[in-house]
Amino acid sequence: MGIDRFTGKPSYGEYMDLNEGWVDRRIFSDDHIYEQELYQIFARSWLFVAHESQIPNPGDFVTTYMGEDGVIVCRQKDNSVKVFLNSCPHRGNRVCFADAGNTRRFVCNYHGWAFDGAGELQGMHEEYCYDPGDIDKSKNGLKQVANVDSYKGLIFATFDEEAPTLEAWLGDFRWYLDMLLDNEEGGTEFIGGCISSEIGANWKFGVENFIGDAYHAGWTHDSGTRAMNDGQPFPPVDMENSYHASVNGHGWEFGLEGVGDIFLLGRPKVMEYYNDIRPKMAERLGKMRSQIFGSVASASIFPNVSFLPGVSTFRQWHPKGPWKFALQTWVIVNKNMPDDIKEEITKGVMQTFGPGGAFEMDDGENWENCTSVNRGVVTRHERLHYRCGIDRRVENHPILPGIVYQGQYNDANQRNFYQHWRDMMEAETVKGVPARYESRFNGRQTLNFSGLDKL
């Protein structure tokens, strides 16, 4: 890890110059940098932990990861959600081995310590072995995270007490997120469970691919696209009418044609459904967002969640060392969709972005090779090119919030992701992360931007 020679503080200046448009390959393989990522990014960010629909009832839980730390996400009797470490305070054993379920107790396999759904220690095997004063049960529960909050169905948690509010963390990116989460009355749900797989690649390759890499799609996925759509190729990109937009390290790249991602799903009934609800969507979100939704687009929420709006795959890249990540994917649909449309979407997602899907396999192989090749002792010192579209910044777009660049084939969102990555890696406290973009909607409680959205 670099140290600034004047301040003695961590510096990642030798690993990237985003004004010039390059990134050093060592950030994808170096052990020390990876350890720092776990502390500086994963232990301080707001991390997605579950969708509300996965745990609708008291006692419902899922287990997941925040960085490499295993956690349990559990619905409480008062309907709130608690998130705590999946690790027993006695010797550290995992207390829950299930991916999901409903329970009143988490009981440790090793010595039988038992915790309730709030993570409080309730009792233990042969409790008489402890003398009075040996143990205070109220102080030996499962370690709670610092904060839990949700945004339109997505539950996030952070280990860092000093983290800003979730609202501030997402910032104006909510304007974009609402296209996924609020395009129809009733909001969204996950259906059909979670699919997990492991890929031998650095986690950032998944995130940066979804945050802005429209460029690879027509090439990497050419044969898959033709196979899924009667020989038709990937739709051409209109560089005049497509964008990259980024806020706080989150990013969404998109066209405005309204149909490209839905077309990729290869399910004509789903296309019909979206075309039917589009006028209502325009009333709800404004005309521009109703044109963005469904277009060729992809997005990531910093640091490790991505989705394809219109295709309906939603995924999280859990780091497992510098050279491996665990990928969890779900199907996200609108709650109010008829069952047959939900079914069509599920089949479409499995055929495209399931682990055996036509597109998912193309990507995983590329990322594995990027990771292993970048480890070469000579290769790792070479720079990677991130300069595409560097002069296409659009200042003060009349509608689009965020740092906006024109042209969907662009490295802008990737550059902004690595800028935020660098800012978090260098910041002593999460409050010290500099703002790179001033909110257009400061102080507004709701994100009804219809006044701005008359195009």
Is residue 360 part of the contact set for Fe ion (CB under 5 A)?
no
Query: Choosing from 182, 363, 411, 453, which is the catalytic residue?
Result: 363
Is residue 261 part of the contact set for Fe ion (CB under 5 A)?
no
Give the ranges where 172-221 is alpha helix by DSSP (H).
173-181, 203-212, 217-220
Least distance CB 65 / Fe ion (angstroms) = 23
Token look-up 């492991």 returns: 198
Least distance CB 348 / ligand FES (angstroms) = 44
Q: How far apart are CA 332 and CA 298, in angstroms?
A: 14
User: What does 363 interact with, of ligand FES, Fe ion, none (CB < 5 to 8 A by kind)?
Assistant: Fe ion
Query: Choosing from 51, 221, 244, 250, which is the catalytic residue?
Result: 221
The nearer residue to Fe ion, 216 or 393, going by C-beta atoms, is 216
393-394 vs 403-406, strand pairing mode: antiparallel
First-to-last CA distance in the chain? 47
* Spatial CB neighbours of 19, under 8 Å, sequence gap ≥ 6: none
Q: Is the distance from CB of 326 to CB of 316 less than 8 angstroms?
A: no
User: What does 9 interact with, of Fe ion, ligand FES, none (CB < 5 to 8 A by kind)?
Assistant: none
User: What does 93 interact with, of ligand FES, Fe ion, none (CB < 5 to 8 A by kind)?
Assistant: ligand FES
Q: Which of 65, 113, 115, 418 binds ligand FES (CB under 6 A)?
A: 113
Q: Which of 50, 88, 214, 299 binds ligand FES (CB under 6 A)?
A: 88
Is residue 253 part of the contact set for Fe ion (CB under 5 A)?
no
Q: Which amino acid is at 182?
A: D
Count of residues interacting with Fe ion (CB under 5 A): 1
Q: Which of 37, 172, 363, 453 binds Fe ion (CB under 5 A)?
A: 363
Is residue 349 part of the contact set for ligand FES (CB under 6 A)?
no
Q: How far apart are CA 441 and CA 56, in angstroms?
A: 32
Question: Is 385 annotated as catalytic?
Answer: no
Q: Is the distance from CB of 295 to CB of 257 less than 8 angstroms?
A: yes
b/e code 419-454 from CB counts within 10 Å (16+ = b): bbbbbbbbbeebeebeeebeebbeeeeebebeebbe
Residues that bind Fe ion (CB under 5 A): 363
Where on the chain is the footprint of ligand FES (CB under 6 A)?
88, 90-91, 93, 108, 110-113
- The residues annotated with a catalytic role in the active site are 111, 213, 216, 221, 363
